[in-house]
Structure 1
Amino acid sequence: MTGEDTGHRTDGYRRTRRGRTRRNFLRLAGAGTLGTGLAVGATEVGAAATGIPTPWLQREGNLLVDDTGERVTLRGVNVVAPGRANQNHWRRPVPETIDHATDPERDWYARVIRVPIQPGGVTGSNDEEPDSVAFTRSELETYCADLLDPVVEKCAERGVYCILDYHRHKTDDYTRPELHDELTLFWETVAPRYADQSHVLYEVYNEPIGPYVGDGQNDDRGLLHDDAEDTWLNWRETAQPWVDTIRDAASDNIVLIGSPRWSQWTWWAPNNEFSGDNLAYVGHVYTHEGLRPLSKYFGEPAAEVPVFMSEFGYQNERHDGAPVPPFLKGTTSTAGAEFEQFFADHDHIHWQAWCFDHSWAPPMFEFDDATHEWTIQGGEDYQGVFFRDLLKELKDTNVPGGTDLDPIEGTVPADRDGDGLHEDFNGNGDLDFPDVNRFFQHTDASAVQDHVGAYDFTGDGTVDMQDVLALFEAV
């Protein structure tokens, strides 16, 4: 049992022993003369102590790479919309949920959080899909200040990327003029607000529905129909101005683009790409039989363009006994194993499982009305344990600033808690003074300086004596 319902811990390197002095450090490190770098005051480790470095990402072909050119794959979870969480006494604020989803002590290692922003939530309405235009600029600015800013800041604090998703999913016709006005207003306001933050990505429109070939016929084969390309071209013509609005205001943030029929037409993305830099494409799929094999509908486009599976999941039962919709129904040994194999075969595809919640289906948790505790769900019928364990297994795979390290004195420093920082220099499983000594002796070595993200304990983008002091303070 992993303590899913325990309180939040104090994070990583912030648990320091203040009573130790630099004189003690000099003696214990056995370093002789440490130089002037230690004469300045000790500095706390940077804010990303529980997560990973979050540098700017760029597209290269079908991949995203970090600022060193290394491939990055973002894996994580969806949370509930901040406005919806704020409306219900039995939901906690989204920043607390992000704490949970990135907490190594509860075995959670989300490296990206997808944040749905519902139009009704901007005004505090219970209407998920109000008629366009759903809000005013003033209402949206208030929403950002009160609810969205704390979420973005929490993601930065926890060292995790953040996808801001404009979350309409029931509007039948994405070509309506008033909807264009709403999307334009939204991105004119939101895109510049976070344009300088490297950990923020933008998802243009969660799930456009129609028009599409086969609309109203419940026929998944329409996606590969002879006329299906016209659907994609119509979607591109409609959505390109929204992409342009984002890119004009935010030149560097990755932009994610969905597709018609609830973002299931990903297959068409490479054929007629949108215009712009640093674009990626979205796929949503649960247990839909018509969208199998996954390698066809989502793997094939991922060979040419970056693909984010920003919604997927399964459940086989509901605690209230109600039937599970066919497109969500699946077991861990079937649907779970299928998703796992798909992501193993296409390990450059980015994924965010739906949903890190106890209500939005398929959920990962059960909620106790009496105690308000969240209990993770697992076994054959529920996905929570399965995706938690998969995220833990992949926590260091294709993340920025901490993989493929060089050995130091014959040992590759280890990341003891999955935060992307490699503090165990002697590989004995503990953080102790010999680790500090070895780090000090090799601070300027290429084995360290070529992998700044793995040893930047102060979070300032460099590795120097301040980082040695920060590691010392953490012992």
Structure 2
Amino acid sequence: MTKKIIFFLCAILIFSSLQAQQDQSPVKLNGQLKIEGTRLLNEKDVVIQLKGMSLFWSQWQPQYYNYETIKNLKEDWGINVVRAAMGIEHEGFLKNPEQEKQKVYRVIDAAIVLGLYVIVDWHDHNAENHLDEAKRFFKETAKKYANHPNIIYELYNEPLDVSWNEVLKPYHTEIIKEIRKFDKNNIIVCGTPNWSQDVDLAAKNPIKEDNIAYTLHFYAGTHQKELMLKAEKAIKAGLPIFVTEFGTTEANGDGKVYKENTQKWFDFMDRYNISWCNWSIADKDEASAALKPNSLPKDIGKKESWSESGAFIRTILTTTDH
């Protein structure tokens, strides 16, 4: 057998293997997502719960914004969604727009190849001051990726103590208009007041558009029953919630890992079929980071590279249905 034939056969085998993986991917199995009432449904109208990992601020942990990271998270951690947290302030997008945008696009492209859902996160605490930049970014992203059911748009990571009616709803409405010029179907997640905790305020005056969800963030060492009750109130009022970020620690991202409190949150999210991403894939020396310092993308599947929080979350991802 000649070398050319061997090479050709190997190429066929590799292609067939990739195709088989793609056929069993979360996006291949579930297709175009939609929201009905408070529930996230797949294209067959079956309730789906996305579970995955959030990357860290793009300007501070760029080493994980690549195909290798996303592939290892899919294959070893069992995620079906990944969140690309594009930092806006603090030397992020506002200073280096093309650089930060390309990091996010690398993650999106990897998710598409691997058949994962991907949250495109405008990771900002003052986004109402950056409306024009956000509109341009989301318009460009929607135009570029509108034909892919993988995409989930997160318009505002964590607003501070600002008005839902006077600040946040108008901000979201403006960006939704830009996205829907090109992308009529993919899910859009809207940040809520007070670090994306006051979902009850959004429930009183929701956005009248299809396929809109609302952000809830929590850190298990700080936010417990009171925030659960607030979220439950919003859900019972008809608000679809997506936990695009949560931590197993205190709200500062550090301290101990609160496994028992986090499990209570898992039970709550499972009860209401709330999708989630854990904060975060990072090697920062803090308790909420899923990896130990100096870990590389190739180390994501290695037990010795997992932090206490990372090992705990990986267990949840690999042993629960999603």
Structure 1 length as normaliser, TM-score?
0.57
> How many angstroms does 1:336 deviate by?
2.6
| Equivalent residue, structure 2, for 1:80 | 56
CA deviation vs aligned residue, 1:325-344 (integer Å, no higher than 9, x gap): 66754434433322232223
1:269, 1:57 → 2: CA distance?
Answer: 22
1:341 to 261, 267, 279: 267
1:306, 1:298 → 2: CA distance?
Answer: 10
| Equivalent residue, structure 1, for 2:243 | 309
| Equivalent residue, structure 2, for 1:182 | 133
1:295 to 225, 228, 236: 228
| Equivalent residue, structure 2, for 1:282 | 215
Structure 2: gaps spanning 5 or more residues:
1-8
Contact 2:57 2:87 in 1 (8 A): yes
CA deviation vs aligned residue, 1:31-71 (integer Å, no higher than 9, x gap): xxxxxxxxxxx896355256322511111111111111111
1:148, 1:371 → 2: CA distance?
Answer: 16
Structure 1: gaps spanning 5 or more residues:
1-13, 19-41, 121-125, 212-230, 316-323, 398-475
2:297, 2:205 → 1: CA distance?
Answer: 52
Q: Number of residues paired by the alignment? A: 304
2:232, 2:79 → 1: CA distance?
Answer: 22
| Equivalent residue, structure 2, for 1:63 | 39
CA deviation vs aligned residue, 1:181-210 (integer Å, no higher than 9, x gap): 222222222222111110111001111113
| Equivalent residue, structure 2, for 1:150 | 106
| Equivalent residue, structure 2, for 1:356 | 281
CA deviation vs aligned residue, 1:375-418 (integer Å, no higher than 9, x gap): 4445xxx31111111111224x4xxxxxxxxxxxxxxxxxxxxx
2:179, 2:137 → 1: CA distance?
Answer: 10
Structure 2 length as normaliser, TM-score?
0.82
CA deviation vs aligned residue, 1:143-195 (integer Å, no higher than 9, x gap): 54x433332121122221000011113x3xx544xx22222222222222111
Structure with the largest fraction of strand: 2
1:198, 1:60 → 2: CA distance?
Answer: 17
1:194 and 2:145 aligned? yes
| Equivalent residue, structure 1, for 2:80 | 111
Contact 1:50 1:158 in 2 (8 A): no
> How many angstroms does 1:285 deviate by?
1.0
Q: Secondary structure at the match of 1:184?
A: helix
Contact 1:311 1:352 in 2 (8 A): yes
| Equivalent residue, structure 1, for 2:197 | 264
Q: Secondary structure at the match of 1:312?
A: strand
Contact 2:68 2:298 in 1 (8 A): no
1:97 to 47, 51, 69: 69
Q: Secondary structure at the match of 1:192?
A: helix
Identical aligned pairs, as a percentage? 21
| Equivalent residue, structure 1, for 2:315 | 389
2:17, 2:219 → 1: CA distance?
Answer: 46
CA deviation vs aligned residue, 1:294-327 (integer Å, no higher than 9, x gap): 4312233234222111111124xxxxxxxx7667
1:232 and 2:157 aligned? no
Q: Secondary structure at the match of 1:78?
A: strand
CA 1:332/1:262 → structure 2, altered by over 3 Å: closer, same or farther?
A: closer
RMSD of equivalent CA atoms: 3.2
1:168 and 2:140 aligned? no
1:353, 1:371 → 2: CA distance?
Answer: 17
2:157, 2:306 → 1: CA distance?
Answer: 26
| Equivalent residue, structure 2, for 1:216 | none
Greater CA radius of gyration, 1 or 2? Answer: 1
1:385, 1:199 → 2: CA distance?
Answer: 27
| Equivalent residue, structure 1, for 2:179 | 246
CA 1:291/1:271 → structure 2, altered by over 3 Å: closer, same or farther?
A: farther
2:194, 2:296 → 1: CA distance?
Answer: 40
> How many angstroms does 1:272 deviate by?
0.8
